[in-house]
Structure formats: structure tokens, C-alpha cells
């Protein structure tokens, strides 16, 4: 059923009579909760008025130039209220007259991924927020299985599918193509199949029967987010689908009983003959038990242990929505002190996550800290303009405004001279082609690196005659094992060795430019050319890998990059990047550092060259490469030492093959 | 149908509970406040902070009058009318708790007297049998005095509540527990003429407090008290006709002592496990403590907990701040408990107050700090009060020169510490404090002196070793 609600201006704090500078929607638009409806501008900052609910805008009663204050009605919208019996905060209902007895699985929906109405949400996206939905794979009424893709999201790095965590029938799809979503956003309501529920602690699965009149059913309204959390409770942790592998060895256990972990934290590492892989946690919470130890072999579905899962929080409901709900359930109800039921959770109005340790040291007074918490501003990132770097109210507002208007990134470039604007049509026929989404996003990043980092490029070459001869020998047997032993795998291995020798190359400059952050890990990014544009997948812990493992990882990640299947965490965390164009050609180029990394290695095409060995010219296979580096961190001499060392390492094929038996 | 419905149920009307209820009501919520006692205000107003301060004031007047004899003003021996003193104390309580009742009415907070226990995540029941249905709840059920096991059942053995009754004034009293509560009551009884002994299990009074803070205090109380037995264990108590016979075990302790009043002040126990929290799904640990997040939410997001039954010091001023956060979050505001320091005060004579980092903590945590300390002997005001034993100590971050903690010993230290608390919260540095003009002659000047001492700019003392700025 649908109902119409007023859209009001939320609490504007100290501001009154704020000017409407933009209407972001018009009557008839379908919007999602938290979508911006109109933009207000105070003398301090511009801010959007978010939609209180998912629904359709019926009318807007303000125009650009109007002024509004807290609580003013700016329009109306119709919202779809879910007819499914969803229980608002544990209200038991007075039996009156004709009653329908409903054994409601919905109540238990809060307790586990058991059957019942649940909301499918966007999982942790790593660093990404406001990611665009580029495809929706489900429609109302669809029957789906666990892991079926729900939607495809596209970040600036890659497109990724969001799989279903439960199977069942899609009751209602809450998003559309073009929406942008963040972790926790609701995607769809699903009537889950109970049979697929993982084991649930008995105490959580208290049977609960609701007695309510039909009249009341329609009165009991809860916005979906009030019913949907996967609540706390003991959840089983199991080994996911391992593809073709069975009886895989556990080579590392990352958690202990009692540990507090977050969703996607690695639980254990499994090693097949092809690669090691981490099994991530499906839930955040406290580890209750662990059933595996190093050396065990496991297969898909095996129990890893159990976790006391934290209630996952649905995105904050705006105050208007909460009030609406409250009024809807005001119908007198009986308290019928029933047996303890599983906790029914209201929508938590959680604060945006904040770096607490940094926050607690920021030079800001209590009132500024309060404002920062409200706005979700991470104070350590704010530069204080007060005496001795004190962060003032205006600094926090300016920070938010800069982000809202995108000026934070653009400011540096604003003063740069512009390239001339030319009407090319004067000179002949032209066709305009839109940049791909990835190009649109990678462009500013490349520019930011180019503008901010003083780049120097060092060219050098390595004698890979023996390396290539040995690779040709090993290639066939490796291929039989399914490993495409490419030259790039050897180059990556050589880079690992060189980075270990020159740790500064594996560092980043701190934000204030006053110190160097040396990374104790070695995650190698490699540039992958795809139809959508340039992507940089990351091989984690490359220093732990043999050439064969690197080759396997390269093949896997390149494949995923081509198919647009890279996950967010496979695009993050690189500490050094390699860009190989050698497969195509070229003798040298000047790659742009993938900031905040400090160096990038560009690899060109190897060729047979006459090399003077002291008495004669000898034909040697030479590999040219180019190291671009951030001159603020790396001295020229250090860069040459690095490239020279790299040449030595590449010439020593036995060294590169060590660990491979 | 429930007997009462509320958007917000607040359990307990102590400083935390009534603050939460009032703040939530001011934010437009429909609030029911349940209180087990007849009056609002909880332990703090009825049997804690406020009545003890009334008695401590009486004690201080007596002590000050006696001290003036040395300076040429002699009064007669004080006559203690315990009944009248108690009546005055109760009058103070009455004024405050009555005021709270008024404040509740003005805000249309519905006060219900009874003991509430949860029956589900959204319902509670009172001991009267009435049921309450709530949308959200704030648990503010406080704590109660911890008692030692196996004590004889005897009216001469009292807890802090009993000690405030002064009924009758004992000749010889033993205070079991050398914490703040025990020492404050020791102060009162000593001034009223009782021979006081204090026994403490650990090697120091006010365990955890910087030892240097205790020295001026010990200098005052040692000659006045019959015995201060640290590192001493009470091994048994027996009720006899002449008094409570207490046996001790400790290096310098007598094996036995007889007292006509024994005050048990060995701490307080949170009441988290007395409200059937499990029926609401709220997790309570074995000590009655309920864990909460920065927004004071328990593991059940629409149920909050504040005050003595959540982690942290059991202090009314902590509870009231937590209360505001809980009420604001319940009302939909984005508040969080963000205080960087919570001041502690022992209202003994001299008073001992500290805030922020203590030296003990700094050493434990390996924090590189610098200290500046001003003896009150350098303060004209302290000398003219006849109280030169105190001092003011500030701790500094060496890099930023910001004050990160402070402690004050001496009369009114509890009032003086607020400036240091403000400085810590504001991130004030030595120049900020030193360059703020403090009125002369006051005790508050010693805070500015301590800042100047850190800066090396002090003129009221000669501190040659300080680096020039």
C-alpha cells in the first residue's frame, strides 16, 4: 500500500531562512531514502535535504530562491509501505474479534539469516562510497539463489557484482540503475527460503506467534529498515565454495576465540597447489569457537567455527521516518508479557564511522568535536586555521563544503593555466565520444599525481638472455599445471627483491609531508589494459610468492579485470606498481606514479642487441625499463641504484626461481 | 494492554536518570521515569554526594574554628546537636529532591514509583504489577554499596547510607576501606569528635591516585586519626556488648580492635543484574556492568545504559553527561560521549582533585610528559587561609605544550580543578593558561603559576633550572 507523507526540512542547526539554490528532483521522480531533494546554501556551506524515505515525489512546494527553515514542509511524497507483516519494535497486539494467527517468520528475520522477510544490503565496499549502480539483475517476484548477482556496482576502479546472501523470492527492489549506494544501503526486500538458513543458536530462534486482527495488520507499518538487520546471535562460519578444490590445507589461522573481527576480515588462509587464499568473515562480531587449526584440510561447507555476530546496522533512518513509524503504531496494544523474544531492533541512528584514536588527539574544543561527529568529519583530516593549528567550527564547515562541492580535489588545479579551447569543427568533421566511466575517474587521479609529484624517470635495461632461455624450458611444464609463466611474473619477482633491498621505494609520504610511511608489506599493483579502461589490480603479499604463484595471481587478476569481476579489495593497497607495455612494443616510456606510491616501473619490449663483452659484440636479449619516481622521496642516485640492482636480479634467473624447487 | 506507554522509559531517577528524562522531554519525547524511592535524585542527592557535603561543611567549620585558636581567635568547644545537624542535612536533601519533582512536572515527565524489571525488549513490569510498554529505554539503575561477606547482623555495622545518619555519634569508629567515600566520612566523624581508624587492604589510601597527592592529606589526618592501617586485611568481625570486635592481619596492625561503629566502604556494585536485562536481550557482565558504545547504546540498539552500571568511574557528573548523550541519541540526534577527561574529587580536608592524565597512568602507559608543580606555600591566599600544605600540579605534552592532566590538593581543590578540566578539553597550552589573567589573591592563581613554571616565565618562585624560552 502507498501513503503520502510530507517532506520537511531537517534540523539546520543554527541556520534559519536558508536559501534554496537548487531543486534536484521534480514531481513524479522516484527517489531513494537519503537521495538529495533540494540543495540549500547558508553562508557557511551548501547542503542537500535528503529524502526521508524511498518513494515517489508527489509535489515540491519550494522554488529556487525561496528561503526555508527547520521543519518547513517543502513537498510531499508517496511511499510504499510494506504490507508484509513486519513487526515494529516488539509490539504485541491485542486480540480483538476476528483474529488471524500468524506464525511470523519475519520476527525471526532479525535473528538470523533464516527464512522470512529480510533486506539485502550492499556489503562492505572497502574505501568506496556512493558507488553507482550500473545494472540491476533482479526484479520483483524473481526467485533467486544464494550468490546470484543482485546488482552490478561500478567504482572508479572496477565493476563488481553484489551477490545475494540468501536465496528466496524478491519482494521488492529498492534501487534503480543510476542510483549511487554505499555499504549498508538497502537493495531489495527478499522473502528468504528458510531451508537455506545457516545454523542458528537455539536461544535466538525462539518461536513467536503473533496474534493480530486483520485490521491491525494494515495498521502495523514499519519501514523496511526497521525489520531487516541480520541481528546479532551465534552464526556459523563455514568454508565457502572453493571451486574445483577439495581437501585444501589450512596454512594459517588469523583469529582466536574471543577476537573481535569485522566483516571480511580474514579468518584462515587455505593453500591449494595453485594459490593461497584467505577465507573472509561473513559477519563481524566476536569469535565464539574455532574448529580448524593449521595443517587441517577442509572442503567447501566445512565448519571453521562460530561467531557472535554483531547486529548489522541498516543505514540511519532520518528522524522524519522514525516519527512516521511511531505514529503508525500508536494503536493501543497489549503488553501481554510474553516469553523473552529475540531482540527486535529499532533503526539505530549510528554516527558515521570516525577514526577515534586520531579524533581524540585532534586540536579541537568540545563544541567543534560535537559538530564534527554530527557531520561525520574525521578531524585528523581537517587543517586547523586557528592559533597553533586549532580546528575551528569554520574549518569543519569549510571541509564539508569543499567535499560537497568537489573543490577539495580541484583546488590545486584551479589556478593552473588552461589549455586552449578550440572549435575543431572549423577544421573538419569531428565526432564526440564520451569517455568511459573508468577513464573519467582515472583521469583526475593521473592528473593529481602528475601535478603533485615531481616526477623523474630513470631508464635502464637488463640482460634477460638466460632468464628467457630458462623460461622457455619451464613454460611447457608450467602450462600443463595451468600456470602461464609470463616474463612479467619474473619482472614482478625481481621487483620484490629490489623493493626488499630498497625499502624506500615501498613507502609513501605522510599527508603532512613530514615523514615517510615505510610499508612492511609488499603488495604489487600491475596495470591492466581493459575495454573499460586502465585498471590496476593488486597482488597482495607478493613477497611471499614464488614466480609460479605470481604468474597464477597475474593470470587470475587479469582475467577478472577483463571480465569486470574484480572486487574492491583486489584494487586496493598496492605499495608499488608495474606497468608492462612490452607485449606491444616500445623502447622506453615515462609512466605516471600511482600516488601515493612513490615509484612505478614501466616495462618495454625486449629485443636482441649487440652487447660488447670486452672483446667482441655478443647478441644478448635486453629488456628496457623505466622507473618513474617521486623526487621528494627518492634521490636520483637511489633510483639508479634501484634500476641497476633490478638488472642484476633479472640476470640471475636461479635467484628468481628460488623457492620453486 | 499495558498500564503505561512511553516513547522513552528511564529506569532510575539518580543524577543520570533524571537528567536523561528531562533532556529527552525537552527534545519532545514522551517520557516515563521509574524510581524505586519516594524521592527523586537517587544515591547522589539522598544518601551520597549532597548529604555528605553538608556534613563535611559542618566538619570544616569546626576544624577551621579550632585552627584559628593558633592565630588569636578562640571559640568555645563546639556543642554538637546531632539531631539538629541531621535535620539540617535532611532539609538540604528535601529542597533539592522537591525541586526535582517540580522540574519533572514542568516537563510533563511521568514519574512512577516502583522497581522496574524488563519482561521483553519493549516491555517492563513494576513490582506493583503494572506494565510499561516503551519504544526506547535508558537504564540508569545505578549502584549500591558493596558489603563484605559474613558480617554479623548488627546495627553498629553500617554502609555509607547508614553513616550519614549520625545515629548516635560513636566514640570509636573503624572505616573499612580507604577510598574516597570512606575517607570523607572519616573526615566528618573525626571533626565531630569520634576517634577514627581507617583500614585499607592495599598499600595506599585512595588506591590508584598519585601518591604525592596523598602526602599533604596524610600530614593533616595522621595526627588526628587513631590509626591508618594500610596493607591490612580485616579477617573477622564479632558483635560483642562493648562493641564490634574486629580482627586484622597486617604488618603494623593490631591483631584486634573494638569499635562502637564500623563503616563498610569497600566500593560500590553496579545494579545491572537487578533489572532482568536478559529478558530484553541486554548483555550484563558478571559484575553487573553493562557494556555500551560511544552513544551509550547497549547491545540492543534501542536500549541505552548510563551511569554507575556502565564502565568508567562511578561519578554523578559522568552519569549526567552520559545521560544527555543517551537522551539526545534516543531523540534522533547525532550525539556521542566525547569527553577527554572526567574529573575526580575527594571532598576530604584538604580536598584532593585530579583530571585527565595522572602521573601514575602516564608512567604505566609510557607517555613522555613534563610536570610543573606549585606549592601553595607560594600562594598568599593559601597562607592567609592558614592552609599552605597543598599544591597544584599540571602535566604537559612535551611536543604540543598542551596540558594533558592536572591535580590539586588543598581546600577548594574540587572547585579549582574545573579550570584544568576546561583546559584539557580545549587543548589549552601553557601560554593559554599563563596568559589568562587570574585574579589575585586567589587559590586559582596557582594554576596559572604552574603554567608559568612550565613555560619558565614564573616570577613568584625562583626556578633556575628551567630552560629559557
Provide CB contacts within 8 A for A553, sequence distance 6+. A275, A539, A542, A545
**Mean pLDDT over residues B138-163, rounded?**
94
**More confident call, A648 vs A116:** A648
Mean of the per-residue pLDDT values of chain B: 94
Residue of B nearest to A388 (CA): B400
Written as nine digits, the cell of B69 is 585558636
Peptide bond into A606 cis (omega under 30): no
pLDDT at A198 over 80: no
pLDDT confidence band for B25 (50 / 70 / 90): very high
More reliable by pLDDT, B464 or B432: B432
Angle at the Cα of B421 from the Cα atoms of B417 and B422, rounded to 5 degrees = 120
Instruction: State pLDDT tens for residues B122-148.
Output: 999 999 999 999 999 999 999 999 999
Contact predicate B268/B284, CB 8 Å? no
Interface residue B136 vs chain A (CB under 8 A) = yes
- In B292-321, the residues whose Cβ lies within 8 Å of chain A are 294-295, 297, 299-302
Average pLDDT over residues A103-123: 53
For the stretch B215-258, pLDDT in tens is 999 999 999 999 999 999 999 999 999 999 999 999 888 999 99
Task: Tell whether B425 is within 8 A of chain A (Cβ).
Answer: yes
Average pLDDT, stretch B320-336?
Answer: 96
pLDDT of residue B467: 56
**Which of A50, A87, A90, A94 to probe by mutation at the B interface, max B CB count within 10 Å?**
A90
**Chain B window 146-185: which residues touch A at a Cβ cutoff of 8 Å?**
none
CB contact under 8 A, B7 and A326: yes
Q: How confident is the model at residue A229 (pLDDT cuts 50, 70, 90)?
A: very low
| pLDDT computed for residue B380 by the predictor | 94
Q: CA angle, corner B314, sides to B323 and B344, nearest 5?
A: 100
DSSP strand E in A51-205: where?
A: 55-60, 67-68, 73-80, 99-103, 116-121, 131-136, 143-144, 149-154, 159-163, 168-173, 180-181, 186-192
Owner of C-alpha cell 600530614:
B219
Question: Cα angle vertex B432, ends B415, B452, to 5°?
Answer: 80
The catalytic site residues of A sit at 631
Question: pLDDT of B391-436, one tens digit each?
Answer: 999 999 998 899 999 999 999 999 999 999 999 999 999 999 999 9
Which chain A residues contact residue B334 at CB under 8 A? 349, 351, 373-374
* Whether the Cβ atoms of residue A620 and residue A464 lie closer than 8 Å to each other: no
A601 membership: H or E segment, kind and range: strand A599-603
Q: Under a CB-based contact definition with an 8 Å cutoff, are residues A583 and A438 in contact?
A: no
- All three cell numbers of A37: 531533494
Q: Which residue has the higher pLDDT, A571 or B371?
A: B371
B121·A341 Cβ contact <8 A: yes
Helix pair A407-414, A437-452: axis angle to 10 deg: 50
Highest mean pLDDT among A139-153, A196-210, A623-637: A623-637
Are the C-beta atoms of residues A91 and A333 closer than 8 Å to each other? yes
For chains A and B, CB pairs below 8 A equal 100
Number of C-alpha atoms within 13 angstroms, CB side, residue B451? 23
- Best of A52, A316, A342, A349 to substitute, by most chain B Cβ atoms within 10 angstroms, is A349
The pLDDT value recorded for residue A157 is 64
Distance CA A355, CA A585 (A): 46
CB A353 within 8 A of CB A375: no
> How does pLDDT run across B435-446, given as a tens digit for each residue?
999 999 999 999
CB atoms B427 and A363 under 8 Å: yes
Q: For chain A, what percentages of helix, strand and coil (3-state, to nearest 5) are there?
A: 25, 30, 45
> Which residues of chain B from 202 to 241 reach within 8 Å of chain A, CB to CB?
none
Q: What is the pLDDT of residue B188?
A: 94
Residue A343 has pLDDT above 70, yes or no: no
Decide if B196 contacts B225 (C-beta within 8 A): yes
Measure in Å the smallest separation between the Cα of A201 and chain B Cα atoms.
Answer: 14
Q: Give the Cα-Cα-Cα angle A240, A243, A249 (nearest 5 degrees).
A: 70
pLDDT higher at B292 or A131? B292
A376: closest CA of chain B, how far (Å): 9
Supply the ipTM of this predicted assembly. 0.78
Question: A622: exposed, middle or buried (C-beta count within 10 Å: 0-12, 13-18, 19+)?
Answer: middle
Give the confidence band of A176 by pLDDT, cuts at 50, 70, 90. Answer: confident
Query: Cis peptide before B157, with omega less than 30 degrees from 0?
Result: no
**pLDDT score recorded for residue B209:** 93
Asked if B141 contacts B288 with a C-beta cutoff of 8 angstroms, the reply is no
The reply to whether residue A335 touches residue B1, judged by beta carbons under 8 angstroms, is yes
Quick one: pLDDT at residue A260?
Answer: 83
Strand partners, A159: A154
Q: In B, which residues are within 8 Å of A94 by CB distance? A: 1
Answer yes or no: do B427 and A333 touch at CB < 8 A: no
B342-382 tens-digit pLDDT: 999 999 999 999 999 999 999 999 999 999 999 999 999 99
The reply to whether B418 touches chain A by the CB within 8 Å rule is: no
Residues of A in contact with B281 (CB under 8 A): 340, 342-343
Decide if A332 and B1 are in contact by the 8 Å CB cutoff: yes
Nearest-neighbour CA in chain B from A349: distance (Å): 7
- Model confidence at B466, pLDDT cuts 50, 70, 90, reads low
Percent of chain A surpassing pLDDT 90: 28
Q: How confident is the model at residue B171 (pLDDT cuts 50, 70, 90)?
A: very high
- Inform me whether the pLDDT recorded for A417 exceeds 50: yes
Supply the DSSP symbol for A501.
Answer: H
Q: What angle is formed at CA A64 by the lines to CA A61 and CA A69, rounded to 5 degrees?
A: 65
Maximum average pLDDT range among A117-131, A617-631, B455-469:
A617-631
Q: What is the pLDDT of residue A315?
A: 36
Cell numbers describing residue A51: 529524502
From the list A89, A313, A363, which residue is nearest B302 (CB)? A89
Rounded mean pLDDT, A188-197: 67
d(CA A255, CA A268): 7
Q: Which residues contact B107 (CB under 8 A, 6 or more apart)?
A: B21, B22, B25, B26, B31
Chain A residues with CB-CB distance to B132 below 8 A: 335
A335 contacts B121? CB cut-off 8 A: no
| Alpha carbons B16 and B312: distance in angstroms, whole number | 14
Q: What is the pLDDT of residue A313?
A: 40
Q: Could you identify the residue written with the cell 638472455?
A: A465
- For the record, the C-alpha cell of A416 comes out as 593552473
**Yes or no, beta carbons of A341 and B334 under 8 Å apart:** no
> Residue B242: which of B224, B223, B256, B228 has the closest Cα?
B256
Crossing angle of helices A636-651/A465-480, nearest 10°? 60
Backbone dihedral angles phi then psi of residue B87, each to the nearest 5 degrees: -65, -40
Where in A82-167 does DSSP place strands (E)? 99-103, 116-121, 131-136, 143-144, 149-154, 159-163
Alpha-carbon distance B133 to nearest alpha carbon in chain A (angstroms): 6
Provide the pLDDT confidence category of residue A225 given band limits of 50, 70 and 90.
Answer: very low
CA distance B257 to B227: 11
CA B122 to chain A, closest CA, distance in angstroms equals 6
Nearest to A90 among B122, B132, B278 (CB): B122
* CA nearest to A584, candidates A557, A563, A606, A565: A606
Q: Do B121 and A90 touch (CB under 8 A)?
A: yes
- List of chain B residues whose C-beta atoms are within 8 Å of the C-beta of residue A326: 7, 135
What is the predicted pLDDT for the residue at A341? 38
B133: which chain A residues are within 8 Å (Cβ-Cβ)? 91, 333, 335
CB contacts, 8 Å: A340 with chain B: 119-120, 278-281
CB contact (8 A) between residue A335 and residue B329? no
B123, B301, B338: residue with CB nearest A373:
B338
Q: What is the mean pLDDT of residues A103-129?
A: 57
pLDDT tens column, A289-338: 888 888 788 887 788 888 887 754 433 333 333 333 333 333 333 333 33
Q: Which residues of A touch B283 (CB under 8 A)?
A: none
**pLDDT band at residue A273 using 50, 70 and 90 as cut-offs:** low
The residue written with cell numbers 512512577 in the block is: B112
Tell me what the mean pLDDT of segment A518-531 comes to.
92
Q: Shortest CB distance from A345 goes to which of B133, B302, B426?
A: B302
**Which among B120, B278, B334 has the least Cβ separation from residue A374?**
B334
Which residues sit opposite A303 in a β-bridge?
A: A238
Q: Which of A269, A313, A311, A309 is nearest to A288 (CA)?
A: A309
Mean pLDDT for the stretch of residues A357-384: 88
- Chain B residues near residue A350 by CB distance under 8 angstroms: 295
Confidence of residue A240 (pLDDT cuts 50, 70, 90): confident
> How far, in Å, CA of A89 to CA of A101, rounded?
19
Query: Which residues on chain A are in Cβ contact (under 8 Å) with B300?
Result: 343, 345
pLDDT digits (tens, 9 = 90+) for B7-22: 999 999 999 999 999 9
Is B278 an interface residue toward A (CB < 8 Å)? yes
User: Which residues in chain A have Cβ-Cβ distances shorter than 8 Å to B123?
Assistant: 90, 335, 337
Q: Is residue B182's pLDDT more than 90?
A: yes
d(CA B266, CA A315): 45
**Residue A19 pLDDT:** 83
CB–CB of A350 and B280 under 8 A? no
DSSP code string of A20-74: EEEE---TT-EE-TT-EEEEEE-SS-EEEEEPSSSEEEEEE---TT-EE-TT-EE
CA distance B425 to chain A (A): 6
Task: Round the CA-based radius of gyration of chain A to a whole number and report it.
Answer: 29
Residue A581 has what pLDDT?
92
What is the H or E stretch that residue A460 is in? strand A455-463
Q: What CA–CA distance (Å, rounded) separates A152 from A95?
A: 45
Mean residue pLDDT of chain A comes to 77
Tell me which of B132, B136, B334 to substitute to probe the interface with A (most A C-beta atoms closer than 10 Å). B334
- Average pLDDT in the A174-193 region? 80
Looking at the complex, report in whole angstroms how far the Cα of residue A42 sits from the nearest Cα belonging to chain B. 21
CA distance A390 to chain B (A): 9
Task: Say how many Å lie between the first and final Cα of chain B, rounded.
Answer: 73
Q: Which residues of B touch A364 (CB under 8 A)?
A: 427
Q: Which of A546, A457, A537, A536 shows the shortest CA–CA distance to A497?
A: A546
pLDDT for res A402 = 84
Amino acid at each position: 500500500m502507498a501513503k503520502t507523507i510530507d517532506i520537511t526540512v531537517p534540523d539546520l542547526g543554527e541556520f534559519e531562512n536558508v536559501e534554496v539554490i537548487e531543486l534536484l528532483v521534480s514531481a513524479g521522480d522516484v527517489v531513494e531514502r537519503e537521495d538529495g531533494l533540494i540543495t540549500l546554501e547558508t553562508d557557511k556551506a551548501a547542503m542537500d535535504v535528503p529524502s526521508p524515505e524511498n518513494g515517489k515525489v508527489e509535489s515540491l512546494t519550494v522554488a529556487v530562491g525561496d528561503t526555508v527553515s527547520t521543519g518547513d514542509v517543502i513537498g510531499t511524497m508517496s511511499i510504499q509501505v510494506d504490507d508484509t507483516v513486519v513487526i515494529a519494535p516488539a509490539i504485541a497486539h491485542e486480540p480483538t474479534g476476528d483474529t488471524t494467527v500468524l506464525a511470523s517468520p519475519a520476527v525471526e528475520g532479525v535473528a538470523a539469516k533464516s527464512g522470512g522477510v529480510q533486506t539485502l544490503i550492499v556489503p562492505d565496499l572497502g574505501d568506496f562510497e556512493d558507488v553507482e549502480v550500473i545494472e540491476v539483475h533482479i526484479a520483483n517476484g524473481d526467485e533467486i539463489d544464494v550468490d546470484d548477482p543482485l546488482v552490478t556496482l561500478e567504482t572508479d576502479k572496477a565493476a563488481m557484482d553484489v551477490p545475494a546472501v540468501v536465496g528466496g523470492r524478491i519482494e521488492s527492489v529498492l534501487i534503480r540503475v543510476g542510483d549511487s549506494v554505499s555499504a549498508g544501503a538497502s537493495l531489495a526486500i527478499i522473502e528468504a527460503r528458510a531451508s537455506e538458513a545457516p545454523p542458528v543458536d537455539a536461544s535466538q530462534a525462539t518461536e513467536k506467534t503473533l496474534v493480530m486482527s486483520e485490521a491491525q495488520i494494515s495498521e502495523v507499518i514499519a519501514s523496511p529498515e526497521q525489520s531487516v538487520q541480520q541481528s546479532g546471535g551465534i552464526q556459523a562460519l563455514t568454508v565457502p565454495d572453493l571451486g574445483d578444490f577439495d581437501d585444501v590445507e589450512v596454512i594459517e589461522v588469523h583469529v582466536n576465540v574471543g577476537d573481535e573481527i569485522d566483516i571480511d576480515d580474514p579468518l584462515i588462509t587455505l593453500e591449494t597447489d595453485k594459490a593461497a587464499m584467505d577465507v573472509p568473515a561473513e559477519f563481524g562480531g566476536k569469535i565464539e569457537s574455532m574448529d580448524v587449526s593449521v595443517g587441517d584440510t577442509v572442503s567447501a561447507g566445512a565448519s571453521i567455527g562460530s561467531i557472535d555476530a554483531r547486529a548489522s546496522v541498516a543505514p540511519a533512518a532520518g528522524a522524519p521516518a522514525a516519527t512516521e513509524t511511531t505514529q503508525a503504531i500508536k494503536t493501543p496494544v497489549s503488553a501481554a508479557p510474553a516469553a523473552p523474544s529475540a531482540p527486535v531492533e529499532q533503526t539505530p541512528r549510528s554516527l558515521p564511522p570516525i577514526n577515534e584514536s586520531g579524533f581524540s588527539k585532534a586540536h579541537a574544543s568540545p563544541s567543534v568535536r560535537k559538530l564534527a561527529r554530527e557531520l561525520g568529519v574525521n578531524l585528523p583530516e581537517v587543517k586547523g586555521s586557528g592559533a597553533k593549528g586549532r580546528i575551528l567550527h569554520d574549518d569543519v564547515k569549510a571541509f564539508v563544503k569543499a567535499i560537497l562541492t568537489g573543490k577539495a580535489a580541484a583546488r590545486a588545479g584551479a589556478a593552473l593555466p588552461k589549455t586552449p579551447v578550440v572549435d575543431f569543427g572549423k577544421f573538419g568533421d569531428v565526432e564526440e565520444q564520451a569517455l568511459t566511466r573508468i577513464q573519467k575517474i582515472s583521469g583526475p587521479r593521473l592528473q593529481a599525481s602528475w601535478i603533485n609529484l615531481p616526477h623523474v624517470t630513470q631508464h635502464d635495461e637488463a640482460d634477460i638472455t638466460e632468464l628467457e632461455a630458462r623460461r622457455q624450458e619451464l613454460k611447457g611444464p608450467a602450462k600443463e599445471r595451468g600456470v602461464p609463466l609470463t616474463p612479467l611474473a619474473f619482472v614482478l619477482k625481481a621487483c620484490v627483491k629490489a623493493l626488499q633491498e630498497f625499502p624506500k621505494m615501498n613507502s609513501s609520504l605522510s599527508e603532512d609531508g613530514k615523514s615517510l610511511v615505510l610499508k612492511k608489506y609488499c603488495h604489487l599493483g600491475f596495470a591492466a589494459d581493459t575495454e573499460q579502461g586502465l585498471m590496476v589490480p593488486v597482488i597482495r603479499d607478493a613477497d611471499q610468492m614464488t614466480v609460479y604463484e605470481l604468474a597464477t595471481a597475474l593470470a587470475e587478476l587479469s582475467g577478472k579485470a577483463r571480465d569486470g569481476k574484480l572486487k574492491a579489495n583486489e584494487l586496493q593497497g598496492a605499495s608499488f606498481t608495474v606497468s608492462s607495455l612490452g607485449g606491444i612494443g616500445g623502447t622506453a616510456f615515462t609512466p605516471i606514479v600511482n600516488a601515493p606510491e612513490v615509484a612505478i616501473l614501466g616495462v618495454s619490449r625486449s629485443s636482441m642487441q649487440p652487447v660488447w663483452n670486452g672483446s667482441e659484440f655478443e647478441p644478448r636479449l635486453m629488456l628496457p625499463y623505466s622507473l618513474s619516481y617521486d623526487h621528494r622521496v627518492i634521490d636520483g642516485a637511489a633510483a639508479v641504484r634501484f634500476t641497476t640492482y633490478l638488472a642484476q636480479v633479472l640476470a640471475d634467473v636461479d635467484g628468481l626461481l628460488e623457492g620453486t624447487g | 494492554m499495558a498500564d503505561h506507554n512511553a516513547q522513552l522509559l528511564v529506569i532510575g531517577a539518580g543524577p543520570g536518570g533524571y537528567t536523561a528524562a528531562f533532556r529527552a522531554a525537552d527534545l519532545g519525547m514522551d517520557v516515563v521515569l521509574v524510581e524505586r524511592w519516594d524521592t527523586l535524585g537517587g544515591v547522589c542527592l539522598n544518601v551520597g554526594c549532597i548529604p555528605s557535603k553538608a556534613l563535611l561543611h559542618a566538619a570544616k567549620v569546626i576544624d577551621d574554628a579550632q585552627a584559628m585558636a593558633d592565630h588569636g581567635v578562640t571559640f568555645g568547644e563546639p556543642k554538637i546537636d546531632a539531631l539538629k545537624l541531621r535535620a539540617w542535612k535532611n532539609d538540604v536533601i528535601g529542597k533539592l529532591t522537591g525541586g526535582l519533582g517540580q522540574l519533572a512536572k514542568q516537563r510533563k515527565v511521568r514519574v512512577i514509583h516502583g522497581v522496574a524489571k524488563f519482561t521483553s525488549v519493549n516491555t517492563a513490569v513494576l513490582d506493583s504489577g503494572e506494565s510499561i510498554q516503551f519504544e526506547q529505554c535508558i537504564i540508569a539503575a545505578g549502584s549500591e554499596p558493596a558489603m563484605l561477606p559474613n558480617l554479623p547482623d548488627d546495627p553498629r555495622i553500617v554502609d555509607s547510607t547508614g553513616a550519614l545518619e549520625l545515629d548516635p555519634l560513636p566514640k570509636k569508629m573503624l572505616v573499612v576501606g580507604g577510598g574516597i567515600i570512606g575517607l570523607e566520612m572519616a573526615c566528618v566523624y573525626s571533626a565531630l569528635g569520634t576517634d577514627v581508624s581507617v583500614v585499607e587492604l592495599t598499600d595506599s589510601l585512595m588506591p590508584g591516585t598519585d601518591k604525592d597527592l596523598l602526602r599533604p592529606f596524610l600530614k593533616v589526618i595522621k595526627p588526628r586519626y587513631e590509626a591508618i592501617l594500610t596493607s591490612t586485611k580485616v579477617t573477622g568481625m564479632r558483635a560483642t556488648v562493648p562493641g564490634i570486635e574486629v580482627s586484622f592481619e597486617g604488618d603494623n596492625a593490631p591483631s584486634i580492635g573494638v569499635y562502637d561503629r564500623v563503616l563498610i566502604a569497600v566500593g560500590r556494585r553496579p545494579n545491572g543484574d537487578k533489572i532482568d536485562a536478559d529478558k530484553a536481550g541486554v548483555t550484563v557482565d558478571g559484575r553487573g556492568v553493562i557494556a555500551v558504545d560511544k552513544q551509550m547504546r547497549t547491545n540492543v540498539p534501542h536500549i541505552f545504559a548510563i551511569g554507575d552500571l556502565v564502565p568508567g568511574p562511578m561519578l554523578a557528573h559522568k552519569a549526567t553527561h552520559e545521560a544527555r548523550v543517551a537522551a539526545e541519541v534516543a531523540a534522533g540526534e547525532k550525539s556521542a560521549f566525547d569527553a577527554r577527561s572526567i574529573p575526580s574529587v575527594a571532598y576530604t580536608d584538604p580536598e584532593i582533585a585530579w583530571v585527565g592524565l595522572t602521573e601514575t597512568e602516564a608512567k604505566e602507559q609510557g607517555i613522555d610528559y613534563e610536570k610543573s608543580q606549585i606549592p601553595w606555600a607560594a600562594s598568599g591566599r593559601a597562607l592567609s587561609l592558614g592552609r599552605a600544605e597543598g599544591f597544584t600540579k599540571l602535566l604537559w605534552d612535551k611536543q604540543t605544550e598542551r596540558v594533558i592532566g592536572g591535580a590539586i590538593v588543598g581546600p577548594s581543590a574540587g572547585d579549582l580543578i574545573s579550570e584544568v578540566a576546561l583546559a584539557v578539553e580545549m587543548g589549552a597550552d601553557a601560554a593559554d593558561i599563563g596568559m589568562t589573567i587570574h585574579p589575585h589573591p586567589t587559590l586559582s592563581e596557582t594554576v596559572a603559576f604552574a603554567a608559568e613554571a612550565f613555560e619558565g616565565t614564573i616570577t613568584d618562585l625562583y626556578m633556575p633550572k628551567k630552560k629559557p624560552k
